[in-house]
Amino acid sequence: MGAVCDQLAAQGGPVFQDSVTPALHAALGIDREPLPAGVTTVAARTTPEIFGFGFLDAIPDSVILSYADPDDRDHDGISGRPNRFVDGRLGRFGRKAFVPTLREFNDAAFQVEIGITNPSVPLEGTVTGQPLPPGTDPAPDPELNAHGLELTDAFVRLLAPPAPLKQSREARHGRDVFTQVKCAGCHIPALRTGDSPIEALRYKDVAAFTDLLLHDMGPDLADICFGLATPSEFRTEPLMGLRLRSHFLHDGRAKTPEQAIDLHGGEATRSRELFRALPAADRAALLAFLKTL
């Protein structure tokens, strides 16, 4: 790959389908989309939790950029940096923080993830860069109209984060421990939204627990590049609704928050080691706090 991130545009883009329709199987004799020659890395992704995405969309760029420190000038070991879309706009959505707006994130997901064309992404997907054989997709394009996109955007934009649970004394102590072991250096506890045409999203303090920046998480978690993001860089995962999740990290390999912390590397190595060194009671308190989110 060198210094250039190849997102395999000529081969249909970076997302490859793991299953095919009966019609496509009959036409091409394949059970899944074949990987193109030259692929060096295959990565898995879990479906993102979309609670509170309307709030994240309303965070001003200036707020996100205020936490960026790509050269680690404050010498805290954390060097978050923004990703940028192809036109230079600040990214914030997706595990690599590549997509600038919630509307673009939603519209692209229909076509890229489930093959539903729409006015924003009108072209049908390909099979490793080749058009679908005639007759394998009889639905006329666009398969979802503009009204459907508007309804979807409204639903996702206004899907509120789950309210945090009432904290026990142990959990309140765990919040202090969360800060003590430097988790809050990237998982910023609260961000403030800016102006928004929707009053419910306007000038609100949001317990997002993210900075929406890229951070190097070390070689053990590395997979693909995306935009400016290197294979080992990922956007800080928001922790809204964390207690409702059954798997953690970008690919779901961790089954508990404790396992996820233990897999942190790169810029998070110091926090991981501080967590490992905690007395048992403090570790339990931190985990109790996370279970209230």
Q: What is the pLDDT of residue 217?
A: 98
35-39, 87-91, 133-137, 140-144, range with the lowest pLDDT: 35-39
User: DSSP character for 68?
Assistant: -
Q: What is the pLDDT of residue 2?
A: 47
Q: Residue 74 is encoded by which pair of tokens?
A: 């404050």
Average pLDDT over residues 34-47: 90
How many angstroms separate the CA atoms of 239 and 161, rounded? 10
Largest CA distance in the chain: 64
At residue 22 the predicted structure's pLDDT band, cuts being 50, 70 and 90, is very high
How many angstroms separate the CA atoms of 272 and 262, rounded? 6
Q: What is the pLDDT of residue 263?
A: 98
> Residue 140: pLDDT above 50?
yes
Q: What is the pLDDT of residue 9?
A: 87
Average pLDDT over residues 142-167: 97
How many angstroms separate the CA atoms of 207 and 243, rounded? 14
> Residue 212: pLDDT above 60?
yes
Angle made by CA atoms 125, 212, 220, in degrees to the nearest 5:
75
DSSP string, 27-67: HH--SSPPPPTT-------PPPP-TTHHHHHTS-HHHHHHT
- Of 215, 220, 238, whose CA–CA distance to 93 is shortest? 238
* Pair 49, 245: CB distance under 8 Å: yes
User: DSSP character for 222?
Assistant: -
Q: What is the pLDDT of residue 1?
A: 40
Measure CA 262 to chain center.
19
**pLDDT digit string (tens) for 84-129?**
999 999 999 999 999 999 999 999 999 998 899 999 999 999 999 9
**pLDDT digit string (tens) for 66-79?**
999 999 999 999 99
In the chain, domain spans = 9-290
- Of 265, 290, 287, 291, whose CA–CA distance to 278 is shortest? 287
Measure CA 132 to chain center.
29
* Per-chain mean pLDDT for the chain: 96
What share of the chain in percent tops pLDDT 70?
A: 99
What share of the chain in percent tops pLDDT 90?
A: 90
- 130 three-state secondary structure: strand
**pLDDT digit string (tens) for 235-290?**
999 999 999 999 999 999 999 999 999 999 999 999 999 999 999 999 999 999 99
